Amino acid sequence: MGDNRDVSGVRREYQYAGLDRSALSSDPVVQFSHWMDEALAADPGDATSMTLATADATGYPSARIVLLKGFDQQGFTWFTNYRSEKGKQLEENPCAELLFYWKALERQVRIRGRVVPVSREESVEYFNSRPLGSQIGAVASHQSQPIGGRELLEQEVERLTKVGSVECPDHWGGFRLVPERFEFWQGRESRLHDRFRYSATDTGWHVERLQP
């Protein structure tokens, strides 16, 4: 076993901006849209990257980075192989949380809710809009399954490339998280961060400040 590495001295001060209740929209989707616009302006390459946290039927968690492909009042959408680890976990336990971290803006957004598959029509429409290489990759890869070597995957990609076109597999498509809770986090000096939580109620969204 290697030497224990002490990284306790690594620190960062957050000094970009503060966040007041008066600056927040009463609608968290609208507020998220404002922050996404600013994130796209600051770092367009990674603005839509989000951590997707899921858990299996026993409660054991998993997390990975996926890409947000759309959002509106109905929810937040991404696409994947339904037979992947995350797909199987969402089938067993259709609850998840999304986390966006925008380093340049010193901001985080957490979104929790239940997850539902999107319609087959929506999945096919998005699949057909992807570059051919991405389409072939989605068909060639049995996502999350063991493979003997990369050359086997490359051989399947070569075979499908010669075919020239592929159709959206039945086991590939979109998920939509229907939000029940949001948390907007703005970094502040001395770890006294600004945090606001939106919780869904029968009459709308309840907003409250959280201690850092």
- pTM exceeds 0.85, yes or no: yes
**Mapping DSSP to helix (H, G, I), strand (E, B) and coil, where does residue 40 land?**
helix
What lies within 8 Å, CB to CB, of 120 at 6+ separation is 173
- Cα angle at 104 between 98 and 107, to 5 degrees? 40
Give the pLDDT confidence score for residue 164 in this predicted structure.
84
Cα separation of the two ends of the chain? 36
User: Is 99 domain-assigned?
Assistant: yes
User: Is 102 domain-assigned?
Assistant: yes
User: Is 139 domain-assigned?
Assistant: no
Would you call 191 a catalytic residue per the annotation? Answer: yes
User: Is 55 domain-assigned?
Assistant: yes
User: Is 176 domain-assigned?
Assistant: yes
What lies within 8 Å, CB to CB, of 65 at 6+ separation is 49, 50, 51, 52
User: Is 10 domain-assigned?
Assistant: no
Structural domain that includes position 200: 21-133+171-210
Using CA atoms, how far apart are residues 81 and 143, in angstroms rounded to an integer?
7
Top pLDDT among 30 and 7 is at: 30
Q: Is residue 10 very low, low, confident or very high in pLDDT (cuts 50, 70, 90)?
A: low
Give the pLDDT confidence score for residue 17 in this predicted structure.
82
CATH (domain of 42): 2.30.110.10
> What total of structural domains would you count in the chain?
1
Candidate from 8-22, 51-65, 151-165, 178-192 with smallest mean pLDDT: 8-22
User: Is 53 domain-assigned?
Assistant: yes
Is the pLDDT at 34 greater than 70? The verdict is yes
Among residues 110, 191, 195, 209, which one is catalytic? 191
Q: Is residue 44 very low, low, confident or very high in pLDDT (cuts 50, 70, 90)?
A: very high
User: Is 7 domain-assigned?
Assistant: no
Mean pLDDT of the chain: 94
